[in-house]
Structure 1
């Protein structure tokens, strides 16, 4: 007989593969059980509700995203450079893994108290990533003020957590609008570009420009 932990992890593995290939709408308990080669009722032994299983799948997404953040952001680099790298990774992950990305941030549906799981809650995967960004913004402000303009405009700035929430919202919006084709539509037709279509930036450069613009908006330009 397969150990319980092994079967639990296999169900999550199947769910991860399914959401990656077919999107969050495909994550039915029956389909996961079928692909895992177990009875339809087997997932209930480990996940009291459908949403508890979805939360476990979303945990995997956050673990993957956190590992990508760590790999992309050189801990010895200035905070602003780390935020730039993380922003690129965030948007890139959203476009590469749309199904998982859509699932991960549905805290309105996943991991609520009523789901009855004794496993770590989804917030325990989400909050450390948010706190990482808050720490980087806090360090960026301290280094900026020490080097260039100590105390200037400090009272007018929102708390770091509010800045990060706004920055995150902007990055999330970029990812969604790019996935829907909306940003390409407006950027490719913008007359203010002033350059022939053939010489305009490619998709990767466009996305990098957008991430930079978000950081400039919330942190100030690099040479301010």
Structure 2
């Protein structure tokens, strides 16, 4: 017998569809209730604030991103290879799911101390996702230990700082590419989406910047 979707899940499903097709500006409780064909007050039984509903929708996006990361890195032995693949997947998600990408990391709106009653807490997913990058940076350094000249790793920032810088650069690449600014600046407008050779080159360069160049 097919399990019936709960009203809470149905409201989130409608919200996810809205943000994916029309962006974050469409995410109002009344519009979601209308599309779910329930009363305007029904969503508040599950989401006491607008922030709570947005957090639940963003939680779906983060769970999807986590699954994508796991899928694309499976079978890649080196930490460096996994990091570069994660970068390509992150940018691919940004271009494929523009509305969700704009929403899912807005902790200033969705998961701040001002909204302590809102559930689910997005940090329950975002912090572990960031932790994956930190762990891979640290593992890469262990894998590279002894293969670089003495002194070249002495001034490297802690893994968490390097991971934060790499994430920031990848996020900037994704956003500027989605806006069209970066393709215009590089003279590559119209050269393709997430599988563009130029994008792959940018991801590789960002990885080199924060991990060091590949050993010969």
TM-score (normalizing by structure 1): 0.88
Q: Distance in 2 between matches of 1:105 and 1:158?
A: 24
Q: Which residue does the alignment assign to 2:202?
A: 210
Given that residues 10 and 36 in structure 1 are in contact (C-alpha distance below 8 angstroms), is that contact kept between their aligned partners in structure 2?
yes
Given that residues 72 and 86 in structure 1 are in contact (C-alpha distance below 8 angstroms), is that contact kept between their aligned partners in structure 2?
yes
Q: Distance in 2 between matches of 1:155 and 1:75?
A: 31
Q: Which residue does the alignment assign to 1:220?
A: 212
Given that residues 84 and 207 in structure 2 are in contact (C-alpha distance below 8 angstroms), is that contact kept between their aligned partners in structure 1?
yes
Taking the TM superposition and a 5 Å limit, the aligned residue runs for 1:64-143 are 64-117=64-117, 119-143=119-143
Question: Structure 2: where are the runs of 5+ without partners?
Answer: none
Q: Distance in 1 between matches of 2:21 and 2:157?
A: 40
Q: Distance in 2 between matches of 1:219 and 1:165?
A: 12
Given that residues 69 and 86 in structure 2 are in contact (C-alpha distance below 8 angstroms), is that contact kept between their aligned partners in structure 1?
yes
Deviation at 1:152, TM superposition (A): 2.9
Deviation at 1:132, TM superposition (A): 0.3
Return closer, same or farther for 1:76/1:184 CA change in 2, 3 Å cut-off: closer
Deviation at 1:150, TM superposition (A): 7.2
Query: Alpha-carbon deviations, 1:136-176, whole Å to 9, x = none?
Result: 00000011013x03763333010000001110000000011
Q: Which residue does the alignment assign to 2:144?
A: 144
Q: Distance in 2 between matches of 1:142 and 1:215?
A: 16
Q: Distance in 1 between matches of 2:18 and 2:106?
A: 17
User: How many residues end up aligned between the 2 structures?
Assistant: 211
Q: Which residue does the alignment assign to 2:160?
A: 161
Secondary structure of 1:119 counterpart: coil
Deviation at 1:76, TM superposition (A): 4.6
Task: Please identify, of 45-54 and 69-78, the stretch whose mean Cα deviation from structure 2 is larger.
Answer: 69-78
Q: Which residue does the alignment assign to 1:175?
A: 174
Task: Please identify, of 160-169 and 202-211, the stretch whose mean Cα deviation from structure 2 is larger.
Answer: 202-211
Q: Which runs of 4+ in 1 moved over 2 A?
A: 111-120, 149-155
Given that residues 51 and 110 in structure 1 are in contact (C-alpha distance below 8 angstroms), is that contact kept between their aligned partners in structure 2?
yes
Given that residues 20 and 99 in structure 2 are in contact (C-alpha distance below 8 angstroms), is that contact kept between their aligned partners in structure 1?
yes
Given that residues 145 and 151 in structure 1 are in contact (C-alpha distance below 8 angstroms), is that contact kept between their aligned partners in structure 2?
no
Q: Distance in 1 between matches of 2:185 and 2:127?
A: 34
Question: Structure 1: where are the runs of 5+ without partners?
Answer: 190-196
Taking CA–CA contacts closer than 8 Å with sequence separation of 6 or more, which of the two structures ends up with the larger relative contact order? 2
